[in-house]
Amino acid sequence: MRSIFRIPTDAKSLKRLQRQMVDYVGGTLRLIGQRQAIYLSVTILAATYFDFWIAMGCYSMVQTAEILDIILARKIQKLDGETSTARVKKLYSLLFTNSIFSAFAISFFVFVIARQEGNISHFTPMFFLFAAALFAAMNNHQLLPLLIIRLAIYTTTFLAIPIIDIIEVHAALASQHWLQLFTVVFVLFFVVDSSMIYLKLYRSNLDQLESLIDEKEKATAALIAKSRFLSTISHELRTPLTSVGGAISLLGNQAMGDLSDKQKYALGIADKNIKNLTELVNDVLDVQSLEADELVLRKDPVDLQAVLTAAHERNAPKVSAAGRSLEMSEIASDIHVLADRKRLDKILDGLVTNAIKFSNDKSTITLGLSTRDTEACLTVADEGEGIPAGQEDIVFSSFSQVDASDIRKAGGIGMGLFLAKSILAKMGGTIGYESTVGVGTTFTVTFKMLKKEKISTAKGF
């Protein structure tokens, strides 16, 4: 029994106690209105049918306990995240003391009413005391020591009322006084049993909550470790990749001697793969920056007609080499948005690359720019395989592709569209798509257009 009332000293148990205290006082503050209604009702009845001044005195004592409980409850609510062991212990001791005073004030009030009734059936005070005990069982079960002490005081009062009557009138065993005592015992059994049910249910829920918190902390730690690992690996790869790329470039420019056609072809493949690997490393670093909310963007007014024209010039050779054609539809002019130009260029390049991967030979990829109300829409349309319905979450997820099989047609690790969506969101833009299987897919990047008077004042965001 002593261990139940002992305040824990280890960090984990103390944290659990802190959680229980916060939950305990949460009920205290949440049910102020119900308690006040009960106290006022009892006081009015006692003042009307018994002694007015005794009722007022008892009501004052109960209200004093209530005020102390509320003040202490507000202090305990601020414990969330508190690391001071001494403060937790001090507030717990005060909570224990206040609970004793509160239970005593209620029991004294009930006992005084019962004594004023005389040696009769004490239905009214017994009902009020039963209500208080059941209230404690339902709402004060978070802390077992406090529940035990409160129910012990109520039980003492429950038993004292009929026992005193039996002693005073020398009641026979067959009298109503003994019946009242036996009824009290039955009611107490019901209250204690209810208390244990609520206590077990609360502890079960608390265990589940703590388990979820532990799992969340483990998952968070694993995510942080993964992010640090990927970031470290990516940074370590960047330096040698730069050196290898530089060396391949020198060889390709024949700075170290003439090359045969086969050597040029081999170096071309190596150069392409080095660029792809460098791009992959940069994408991984961008993902880590996004997860850490450290991605730096420079948002300036951007002319979308110039962006689209540059994207066409930049990607046309690549598209042509892949056996497709890159065209521009009629595009709107004098359309400005607030965006990071370099990031937007990279996103459009990625969409064109995707269109090449998932379109057929001799098909057309079309770039477009249009307006819709106050929005500007950049589009990249292909005549490819299309995307099945209901794949939006997969399309824009990291490290995923709609075709994730081992024999999938297109390469890549599935980060491009995830990064595009995330970066566009930070720029205030959106990305979506419309697709028909067997016909093609159109990706649309949308921004809110800048008004002309705001173009010159929106630089450097």
pLDDT tens-digit series, residues 168-184: 888 888 888 788 888 88
User: What whole-number distance in Å separates Cα of residue 141 and Cα of residue 177?
Assistant: 32
Q: How many CB atoms lie within 10 A of CB 109?
A: 26
Res 364 pLDDT > 80: yes
Res 408 pLDDT > 50: no
> 4-13, 177-186, 289-298: lowest mean pLDDT where?
4-13
Burial of 305 from C-beta contacts in 10 A (0-12 / 13-18 / 19+): middle
108 token code pair: 């004294």
Stretch 223-247: mean pLDDT: 72
User: Pseudo-torsion of CA 164, 165, 170, 175, nearest 10°?
Assistant: -130
Percent of the chain predicted with pLDDT > 90 = 17
Largest CA distance in the chain: 124
Please tell me whether residue 257 adopts helix, strand or coil conformation: coil
User: What whole-number distance in Å separates Cα of residue 97 and Cα of residue 95?
Assistant: 5
Taking the chain, what is the end-to-end CA distance rounded to the nearest angstrom?
65
User: What whole-number distance in Å separates Cα of residue 395 and Cα of residue 391?
Assistant: 6
User: What whole-number distance in Å separates Cα of residue 66 and Cα of residue 58?
Assistant: 12
Find all residues with CB under 8 Å of 43, minimum gap 6, and list them. Answer: 55, 56, 58, 59
Q: What is the 8-class DSSP label of residue 7?
A: P
The structure's pTM equals: 0.51
- Choose between 231 and 340: higher pLDDT: 340
Find all residues with CB under 8 Å of 214, minimum gap 6, and list them. Answer: none
Q: How many CB atoms lie within 10 A of CB 304?
A: 24
